[in-house]
């Protein structure tokens, strides 16, 4: 029973959908289905009930899922300890600058407890680089926000935060219980430099081309609003600062906090850090 096959099985068991599991595993569905059939033949029992209503685990599948998770966790820990012993105990993490996310501090504590011998280097980047140096090879793992070009990357959503419009406190729209993007259509927006990831730029511009000052940092966004009455999108629960306010936007999707890493990276410490991040951000 190969560990790779068990990872395939766990993905299908957690997604309860072969298509979604295949996407998660970065493979096509036919070889995934064949691997599960071979595993069922090896076990000597059906692991999934497949019907028009969907996919469900059989009682045998539920037992195997529990055992597979334990075995895979143990295998990951072996890889981590070997990596430390081999001197590969260093991880560079990219984060967006001006971040005051309390989960970052909680994650740092969890990483120190689990990996006291691992050196973690942190690289902060401005808002023009949403992958925090990942695409350019400057970091091993990015704790950032989507969306961005995910080519060659594995991306896992950790949390989703509602967003709103950042306004001057004396703006006519300030104090609104709910705004729509159409309410802001004729305003000047802060925007990111030319060459910024198009998906990232589009999200923070509400899906439309905008006119307004170019910014690179959160403080620059706030100053653009404070001094010039520019507007833009920010996190709903962030303290905007003196003279500013945030009004909820009802037709904007939440901002996803994500962990991203190179899909071909087999460093076991990356997998461990992502597991810790998922537990921390969703805890």
- Answer yes or no: is pLDDT of 182 > 70: yes
Q: Domain range holding 14? A: 3-84
Q: Report the pLDDT value the prediction gives residue 53, as an integer from 0 to 100.
A: 80
Segment 168-177, tens digit of pLDDT:
999 999 989 9
Both 260 and 249 in a single domain? no
Instruction: Please check whether residues 18 and 96 belong to one and the same domain.
Output: no
Task: Answer yes or no: are the C-beta atoms of 201 and 191 closer than 8 Å.
Answer: yes
Cα distance between residue 237 and residue 245, in whole Å: 11
Q: Are residues 33 and 60 in the same domain?
A: yes
Nearest in space to 21 (alpha carbons), one of 54, 44, 64? 54
pLDDT at 119: 85
SS3 197: coil
Q: Are 243 and 178 contained in the same domain?
A: yes
Confidence of residue 27 (pLDDT cuts 50, 70, 90): confident
User: Is a pLDDT exceeding 60 seen at residue 268?
Assistant: yes
Domain CATH number, residue 218: 3.40.190.10
Same domain, 107 and 238: no
Distance separating the N- and C-terminal Cα atoms of the chain: 33
3-class DSSP state for residue 157? strand
Distance from chain centroid for Cα 147: 9
Is the pLDDT at 196 greater than 80? The verdict is yes
Q: How many domains does the chain have?
A: 3
């Amino acid at each position: 029973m190969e560990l790779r096959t068990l990872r395939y099985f766990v993905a299908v068991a957690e997604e309860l959908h072969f298509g979604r599991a295949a996407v998660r595993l970065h493979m096509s569905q036919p070889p995934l289905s064949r691997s599960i059939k071979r595993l069922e033949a090896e076990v000597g029992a059906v692991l999934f009930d497949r019907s028009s209503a969907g996919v469900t685990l059989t009682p045998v599948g539920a037992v195997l899922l529990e055992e597979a998770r334990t075995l895979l966790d143990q295998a990951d820990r072996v890889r981590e300890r070997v990596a430390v012993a081999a001197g590969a105990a260093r991880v560079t993490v990219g984060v967006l600058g001006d971040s005051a996310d309390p989960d970052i501090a909680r994650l740092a504590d969890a990483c120190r407890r689990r990996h006291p011998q691992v050196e973690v280097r942190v690289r902060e980047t401005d808002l023009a680089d949403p992958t925090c140096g990942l695409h350019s090879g400057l970091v091993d793992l990015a704790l950032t926000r989507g969306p961005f070009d995910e080519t060659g990357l594995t991306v896992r959503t950790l949390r989703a935060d509602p967003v709103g419009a950042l306004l001057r406190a004396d703006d006519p729209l300030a104090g609104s219980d709910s705004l729509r993007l159409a309410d802001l259509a004729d305003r000047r927006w802060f925007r990111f430099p030319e060459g910024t990831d198009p998906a990232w730029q589009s999200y923070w511009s509400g899906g439309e081309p905008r006119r307004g000052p170019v910014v690179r940092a959160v403080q620059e966004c706030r100053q653009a609003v404070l001094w010039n009455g520019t507007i833009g999108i920010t996190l709903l629960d962030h303290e905007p600062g003196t003279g500013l306010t945030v009004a909820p936007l009802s037709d904007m999707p939440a901002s996803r906090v994500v962990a991203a890493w190179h899909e071909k990276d087999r460093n076991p410490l990356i997998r461990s850090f992502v597991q810790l991040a998922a537990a921390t951000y969703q805890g």
